[in-house]
Structure 1
Amino acid sequence: MKKTTVLFLFSLFCLFSNSLFSQEFKTYKLDNGLTVYLWPDSNQPDVTGVVAVRAGSIDEPAEYTGLAHYLEHVLFKGTHKIGALDWEKEKPHYDQIIKLYDEYAEATDPAVRVELETKINEESLLAAQYANTSEFSNLVEGMGGEGLNAGTSYDMTFYYNNFPTFQLEKWLDLYSERMINPIFRSFQAELENVFEEYNMYQDNNNTHISQFLFSNLYKGHPYERDIIGTSDDLKNPRLSKLIEFYNTWYVPSNMALILVGNFDAESAKPLIEEKFGRLETKEIPERPSYPETDFSGNPTHKAKLGYSPSVIWGYKGVPVGHQDELLLDFCASLLSNSMNTGLLDKVTLDGDVQYAGASVDSRRDQGRFLIQAVPYYDANQRRYDSDKATEKIVMEQVNKLKAGDIEDWLIESVKNAELRNYELTMENPTSKVAMLRMMFIYNLPLDYFTKMPEKIKAITKADIQQIAKKYIDAGHLTVSIEVGTPKKNKLKKPDIKPIEQPKGKTSAYAEYLKAIPVKPVPEIYNDFADVKTVNLYDKVKLHCSENPMNDYFSVTLKYGVGTKKMPKLKYATSLMNSAGIMPDMDAQSVRREFSKLNATCTYRVTDDYFYINLLGLESNLEEICQLMTRQTLMPKLDEKQLNRVAGNEISSRLMFEAKSADILGNALLEYALYEKESDYIDRLTLEEVFYLTISELTGEIIRATDYTLDIHYVGKRPAAEITEVLKANLPLKEGVKDSESPVIQDRVKYDKQTIYFLPNSDVQQAKIYFYVEGFDYNIADEVEIDAFNQYFSGGFNGLVMNEIRENNSMAYTAVGYVSTPPVQNKNTYFLGYVGTQPDKVADAVDLYMELLKKMPLHPERIDNIKTYLKQSALTTKPTFRLKSQRFADWEKLGYTDDPAKVNMEKINNLTFEQIQNFYEQKIKDKPITIIITGDRKLIDTKQIEQNHGKIRRVNAKQLFSAE
């Protein structure tokens, strides 16, 4: 479950041609008003199902913020049927809980509130005897469902997961039933989980920046509030208001059912009518209107919240679906885009600023046009440029837009990019779902997207200038973010007892759902023959696969070396994305040439591999490859760009590392696993970064291309033809070096239980990791590893989430899994994680250690786990773009056929005893390393030491390289 901040960058969606909707696409309404979108796609291995509701945080009463998001959480707890073991006995306690929460909201005396908390807890414990709050997620797992989750934004809430085609009737029954008489069980316990989610966001400075920005951009409108709600409102909840919110907005005429994937629409329609037609028809109340925020006088707001300084200029925009929306988005793309050809991209590429870009934030009621910049960082002076100097650089480019001073090639480049992005978007089922969800939430006409291509083609320079003057010449506000630490609310752990639910019991509804007959599972496997592999030279291979959907090819060059062996390659790669071509072609000119060819070229690097990625029209493939080859062999790297890259690294280390809760947590974990070999210690010093030169970084790129090379081509041309084309046009070499990648680091060996603790009083949420060294990996163990991971940490059904979150309300996120290496004969390891309030840490450690040392046994879960593993294996079908790379990864592991096919017999014969034996042989009784960072004043270290041993305290300086 997640909170989603929606910044609609319409370049993602303004991309759809008249062929958008295939003849199979259907949309209609049920008699009760429910909207239905059906988009069959036989190329998808399963079905994505979504229920979307046109209700979000904008619809909450001002005094009860966070209702929409909290409702999303408790809609997983069942109904008067789902999870109801004895509703008649549960109901009196549930009604009493509602009444007590109303009293709690009215109470002001702290002693009375504590007493009411205790009473609510007592009633919750009694109610829990008659319910199974995990049943909904168990039922989804039992039908092979994956990706179960939900999201809440300002304008919508949506619930979703993927499921096998043959389970369509069960899925429709379950998802419609969850909307009929939902019971918001475990309200008190789940509220603590929402608090933990709140804490998690509070430890990210970007959360505070967004809150400050939106509170000023949308002042006087519900959009000024954060989606998750204020801490004061979260502390003062009313269950009755949650029920009222549900009854008001969760009505069929305000909801949509979306199905995209491998199903038959005609067979689905009567089932949809039968299941979702049960929802009761209700009227939707009229929504209030809100005044526009006053930007007169161009106000400026400042706050010390950032890891680094930034400036945002906000202008009035338009809501989703407005006639000016497309042109505003086009203006944003002319300023900055994925091709890096925009006016603001140029000042970034030139090194005048660290970053500059534009975006559109369009919502249901209002919208904003945003320009953001990070000032240039002078690595010599160790300081950033002023906001005033940055504004002068940025606004010089913005003024060109307003004056119509835009070259024709740039306008055509953006048009081509958006049409190209459409083709790529249509390859992705997730994007189709997002588009349909958007159509419903914003009441967009059915031809909204199909008319976009012609509208894009018709855009003129005069249109751009007119829109830029209309909106970007008007009043605006400036938000200046300075370096600083946000204030945080430290929350206190409530004195409530954990929920204990009946084990192994199911509702009558669960038995009914399981009894619905399904057709035999079709077992369709990946075929390695779909990829043709050709040896171009020794250690240079070409992998070819077909593009069945459009005329855009992709070529990925994967060199067998990364930053583990060549640490300077990180900085060289960054420069390559802003490189010109010797002798006299600058970076912007190169971007212009790629855009003329309707292509993209990007460079990236990981620990193990250096990549060059090309994408463009098949008809231009030769010219695109030639241009990339010239750039790779003769890169023109710029000193100012090098200063920008070095400045990013230096400022990040000096300002970001010491303050970011995530980086400190990761650095502590790396230290525990690798000590001095940690990526935060074994790296270039700041002095080495500062003194990097253009010549040595140019040499790094050349040296990187000396290693083993795998080329992955996806397109229309046959293997024989593309072999000759790529040999003639790519920078290929004979006699390349053997690759040592992937580099698998040896981890620290612990012979006894060890505890690391990094005190950090600035964070609101503590981080706890649990590490156990594993065993020599062999793919023969794959099924048992997957089965254990699903049992121990399988989403909402796993032991960790069930015990840590559902029953004890200690965390929003709690996981634990055996991690496997990308090659055999290297060690696995177990890694667990819990994020929780500091005053819950000691209890969370106790509980997690109990799970690791004496794992609870629930053999009744084995059927669900087998179903899940089987469907997960059968639906692991890489997209055509990624097929050759995924097959190559499988072959590197030792598979000669689809892993699903190889492992299916083992999955079918899996027993619970195998999971138990795996745990006892591979996990139990092994030394456990506990790694904790959080506020030492609130963490009960005495309890931890008493129960688990002496704590080894570390400080932040130990975690990073000496600079």
Structure 2
Amino acid sequence: MKHLKVLLLLTVVAFFYNCKTEKSTELAYAVESHNDANGISYETVGNDPTGLRLYTLDNGLKVYLSKNNDEPKIQTYIAVRAGSNYDPKESTGLAHYLEHMVFKGTSKIGTLDWEKEKQHLDQISILYEQHRAENNPAKKLELYKKIDEVSLEASKYSVANEYDKMTSSLGATGTNAHTWFEETVYKNKIPANELGKWLALEKERFGELVLRLFHTELEAVFEEFNRGQDNDGRKRYAAMLRGLFPNHPYGQQSTIGIAEHLKNPSLVDINNYFNKYYVPNNMAMVLVGDLDFDETINKVNETFGKLKKKEVIHPTLPKEEPITSPVINEVFGPTAESISIAFRSQGVNTEDQKLMTLADMILANGNAGLIDLNLNQKQIVQRAGCSPTFLNDYGYHSFSGSPKEGQSLDEVKDLLLAQIEKLKKGEFEDWMIDAVVNDLKLSQTQQYENSTALASMYYNAFIHHEDWANKVKFLDDLKKISKQELVDFANRFYKDNYVVTYKRQGEDKSIVKVANPGITPVHVNRDKSSQYMQDFNKIQSEPLQPKFVDYKKEIKASKLDNGIEVSYIENELNDLFDLNIIFDMGSDNDKKLGIAVGYMEYLGTDKYTAEEIKKEFYKLGIDYYVNSGAEKSYVGLNGLKENLPKGLELLEHVWSNAIPNQEAYDSYVDQIIKGRQNGKTQKGNILYGGLMNYGKYGENSRLRNIMQVNELKSINPQQLVDMVKDLKNYKQRIFYYGKDIDAALTALNTNHIVPSELKNYSEPMVYNEKETGGNVYFVDFDMVQSEMLFLAKGEPFKAENMAASTLFNTYFGGGLSSIVFQEIRESKSLAYSAWSSYSNASKKDDSNYVMAYIGTQANKMPQAVEAMMELMTNMPEAEEQFNAAKEATLKKLAAQRITKSNIFWNYERLQKLGIDNDNREEMYNTIKDMTMEDLRNFFNTNIKGENYNVMVIGNKNDIDFNSLNKLGKVQEMDVDYLFNYEKPEDIKL
């Protein structure tokens, strides 16, 4: 939770504050202007640890460049300062539509005959305007059928997913985009040697908009809309925004849009939006990775520098009046109850931003904040937290909480408000501000070494008009805030000026059901390509050679005085460390172990209370953890290297001297019970947890092998504490990632005292995978979409199949240009999300699985199932697409680098598979020689004819059970049975 929150603070949140600073600070962060070898000017900031070069091209395009040589890749973002805030009131959702359509190509990309295709596309645009203006339902339907008819004709001249095929052919990963209030951002991570081809492709894409294959993509957006209706968290968030912003688009225009506008789009409006805002002086390019500054900016200038500048006038948006009394909202849905409280603030580049960021961390930092210690640590609520968001016009500080069993939402609200009152009274220790700033600095250091995280910080700076110098010195500015200044701010800011949103369990009567329009499948022409793509594929980039890891060389070894083996890898980047004590046993060996480990979170010792332990670690800038999985358990520390000895000393003290507390244990059990009840209201948990495990194992699964409530209640807490203390007496090994291994060994020898003879592990429980086929397991759930998971048990793991399965997944089932995505979404518009994969086992003696997924409207399910089963029986063969998939797979492997601590953890994963070397080299060489025939043979041997168990979750009233009966025997499953939970009425309190 802490790391996610700090990530939001340091990337999504814009760090800037206009204030007077001391002259020395101004000089330290001075902005300097330079000219590179090409005469192109750029700016840098003194003492900037990210090494940013910020260019502004003659056409106004901002270009953010930074080096990261960890891997031969470049994280790319193309950001546009325009999002749903600027949607016309009668066309909400337009910016998001547009984001989808920018992937559809241009008059060169994605067309077989532009002149003929354009005639049909122009006609489709006219028909949509007529459809929008028509009020007679029968005539609207007639017009839609005409749109469908002309769209089919137009698709004869189009090639689906050409952009995605070309980015995939580069070896790109993470190809995607997102739209929010003030931004639309396009994403790729590319091999560094493919920068020139990528720039040429993107320049073409952003130079022109063509709205081809529109009505099938519109259906995909509808499906995305439906997924939002099935997400209670999103509904609570939207209600919160409506309360905070009764006039501003932040609260009045959701990014996805309203159903009525989605049904009546205007292609004219979409083109106008693109022409108005998608111009270079309203855009930024962010490139972070293995690049040469001068060469890179020259290539950017030669491509994107040719885009024409236009005057951009951003609309003036409504202002909000102050909130003077609490605003109350309610939303309903099937998931567990929760509550949010939100205070509206000023936006980025204001005084509120810095003060509220600091206030937020004092309240909740994942360790020692007021909410952390007073509510979560003491188990007074089920869960609570807070997070700030800063946008261009306004911001908000949101608090959320979930109740314990028997606790009302209003009680949670009052407890959250009570923590704010403590802040207002200054009831926090003086050292907290320094500790919070150090915590932010620690997390920021971790982000700076991650190219994707750093690139995200850059594009956020652009979207929010931020001066990078002020972002660099932001943490120094935080240090200058006194406790009294923060208290004064809290008293000024947190009043009865909040919006409270109650998420209650119950029927949501605002749900919009969307009819199946009956789209005629369009042509995807996967065996054809545009002239642009043919020419693009002829361009040769300098080959990138793969690099493989010699694990035995990279992972060094030493021993403690007591004989325990220590594996280590040096951290060459910074002074952070990660220390892990590893036990090769877990809940499979004893299902009480996970319960015991979780209980330790709430215990003190003979020297410290549980709350004091959290504070002591936080002062040191150290995180500690004790966790237990199915097969392994870990005790660990990470943080500042200089504090490793003190952190380890404190950890060993807690480990050896924890004192059981019956009251804390009773609350812990109550929390487990409530967590189970809450978890079974989450559809994702039901599908991928309960149903999938039952589909694999039946009754005998890890998921169901749990301690029943009455067992939990009968345990003596001392027994759990003794179990954790006894961990130290078992066989163990250690992994250290950091600098100065000798200092780490000294700290371990001093503090980690264990017996000379260590105990062996007990035999683990064995869970046998059952044969699949002929079963349909269904759970009734109040939702708009239906979701299906197909699961077939394959043969046991074989290392020699990894090359073929990797190539198969690229070609057939994964990514935007795969066969499954093209057929089910692009051609037939039957689902927002559809995929298939051949999933290799994680252990050498386990089985591989064939899996497929469809998420769609219930009224499309029969067609979607038929389409998926046809694909899983008869794999379409397209030589050109196969060659592209092969090239993409090879380039991804060539650009992949396993570095830092990942070297150790990846080796751990391989050893579980019985592999003792970097098998990517063998995979790479095998894929180079593979043909379509090899892939066909793999499909026929491992995919075709498999027998599936089918897991389905959806609304019983909407499901077509006749279609499900064709797949096997339909069994409606009880959720409590899936998880082996007792019914609430059967639990003895």
TM-score bracket for the superposition, by shorter chain length: over 0.9
**1:569 corresponds to 2:593:** yes
Tell me how far 1:705 sits from its aligned partner.
Answer: 4.5
C-alpha deviation, 1:679, in angstroms: 4.4
Deviation digits for residues 780-836 of structure 1, max 9, x if unmatched? 221111111112213012111111111111111111111122232321111111111
Partners of 1:553 and 1:716 within 8 A in 2: yes
The aligned residue for residue 45 of structure 1 is 72
8 Å Cα contact 1:62-1:222 kept in structure 2 = no
Q: Give 2:250's match in structure 1, choosing from 175, 199, 223.
A: 223
Q: Could you report, residue by residue, the CA deviation over 1:566-618 in whole angstroms, capped at 9, with x for unpaired residues? A: 333333333323332x2241111111211222211123332222222311222
Report the equivalent of 1:441.
Answer: 463
Give the aligned partner of residue 112 of structure 1: 139
Distance 2:550 2:262 in 1: 52
Question: 2:518 is matched with which residue?
Answer: 495
> Which residue identity is paired with 2:980?
S
Among 598, 601, 622, the residue aligned to 2:621: 598
Residue 204 of structure 1 contacts residue 660 of structure 1 at CA under 8 Å; is this kept in 2? no
| Contact 1:874–1:900 (CA under 8 A) maintained in structure 2 | no
Q: Which residue of 1 aligns with 2:428?
A: 406
Q: SS at 1:282's partner residue? A: coil
Q: 1:474 to 1:513 in 2, by over 3 A?
A: same
Q: Which amino acid aligns with 1:951?
A: V
Aligned match of 2:863: 843
The 1-side partners of 2:456 and 2:853 are apart by 31
Partner SS state of residue 433, structure 2? helix
Q: Does the 8 Å CA contact 2:14/2:464 hold for their aligned counterparts?
A: no
Match of 2:311 in 1: 283
| Alpha-carbon distance in structure 1 between the residues aligned to 2:922 and 2:10 | 43
Partner in structure 2 of residue 756 of structure 1: 776
Superposed CA RMSD: 2.7
Are 1:10 and 1:329, in contact at CA under 8 Å, matched by a contact in 2?
no
| Number of equivalenced pairs | 949
Change (3 A) 1:456 1:6: closer
- Say whether residues 1:186 and 2:205 are aligned partners: no
Equivalent runs, 1:506-655 vs 2, <5 Å = 506-528=529-551, 529-536=553-560, 540-580=564-604, 582-655=605-678
User: For 1:821, what is the secondary structure of its paired residue?
Assistant: coil
Residues 21-170 of structure 1 aligned to structure 2 (within 5 Å)? 21=48, 25-170=52-197
Indicate the SS of the match to 1:796: coil
SS in 2 for 1:756: strand
Cα distance, 1:656 vs structure 2: 4.5
Other-structure match for 2:25: none
CA contact (8 A) 2:92 2:261 kept: yes
**Matches of 2:95 and 2:210, distance apart in 1:** 16
Q: Kindly indicate whether the alpha-carbon contact (under 8 Å) linking 2:808 and 2:935 is maintained by their aligned counterparts in 1.
A: yes
Alpha-carbon distance change, 917 to 744 in structure 1, aligned in 2, over 3 angstroms: farther
Distance, in Å, in 1 between the alignment partners of 2:348 and 2:285 is 21
SS at match of 1:396: helix
CA 1:530 to 1:912, structure 2 compared with 1: closer, same or farther past 3 Å? same
Residue 38 of structure 2 corresponds to which residue in structure 1? none
What residue number does 2:955 align with? 935
Give distance in 2, aligned partners of 1:738 and 1:406. 46
What does the per-residue CA deviation read over 1:296-348, in whole Å, with 9 as the maximum and x for residues that have no partner? 12233344447333333222212122233111110010011033343553332
TM-score (norm 1): 0.93
Q: Distance in 2 between matches of 1:615 and 1:6?
A: 16
* Alpha-carbon separation, structure 2, partners of 1:11 and 1:503: 39
* Structure 2: distance between partners of 1:306 and 1:930: 23
Greater displacement, 523-532 / 815-824: 523-532
Moved more, 22-31 or 324-333: 22-31
Q: Does 1:819 align with 2:839?
A: yes
**Of 907, 924, 943, which residue of structure 1 is paired with 2:927?**
907
Whether 2:374 is the aligned partner of 1:351: answer no
Q: Is the 8 A contact 1:317 1:360 kept in 2?
A: no
Match of 1:336 among 361, 364, 367: 364
The SS at the match of 1:79 is coil
Distance in 2, Cα, partners of 1:875 & 1:740: 42
Deviates more, 1:10-19 or 1:271-280: 10-19
Worse-superposed segment, 19-28 or 431-440: 19-28
User: Contact 2:794 / 2:848 at 8 angstroms: preserved in 1?
Assistant: yes
What does the per-residue CA deviation read over 1:493-541, in whole Å, with 9 as the maximum and x for residues that have no partner? 1122111222311111112222223112233333422221235599953
Q: 1:503 and 1:308 mapped to 2: Cα distance? A: 45
Q: How does 1:710-721 map to 2 (within 5 A)?
A: 710-718=733-741
Q: Offset at 1:952? A: 3.9
SS in 2 for 1:652: helix
CA shift in 2, pair 1:808/1:306, >3 Å: closer
Q: Which amino acid aligns with 1:715?
A: G
| Structure 2 CA distance for partners of 1:910 and 1:579, relative to 1, 3 Å | farther
| 1:344/1:397 contact within 8 Å kept | no
Moved more, 764-773 or 688-697: 688-697
Q: Distance in 1 between matches of 2:12 and 2:608?
A: 31
Candidates 365, 368, 389, aligned match of 1:361: 389
Asked if structure 2 preserves the Cα contact closer than 8 Å seen for 1:6 and 1:154, the reply is no
Aligned residue identity for 2:214: F
1:696 Cα deviation (Å)?
Answer: 2.8
Pick from 916, 919, 930 the counterpart of residue 936 of structure 2. Answer: 916
CA distance in 2, matches of 1:287, 1:575: 54
Q: Residue 502 of structure 2 aligns with which residue?
A: 480
SS at match of 1:317: strand
SS in 1 for 2:298: helix
* Offset at residue 734 of structure 1 (A): 4.7
Q: Matches of 1:772 and 1:669 in 2, distance apart?
A: 11
Contact 1:7–1:362 under 8 Å retained in 2: no
Unaligned runs of 5+ residues in structure 1 are none
Q: Is the partner of 1:316 in helix, strand or coil? A: strand
Contact 1:542 1:710 in 2 (8 A): yes
SS in 1 for 2:77: strand
Residue type of the alignment partner of 2:9? L
Q: Is the 8 A contact 1:319 1:365 kept in 2?
A: yes
**Partner in structure 2 of residue 688 of structure 1:** 711
Query: Percent of counterpart pairs with the same letter?
Result: 28
Report the Cα distance in structure 2 between the residues aligned to 1:596 and 1:861, rounded to whole angstroms.
56
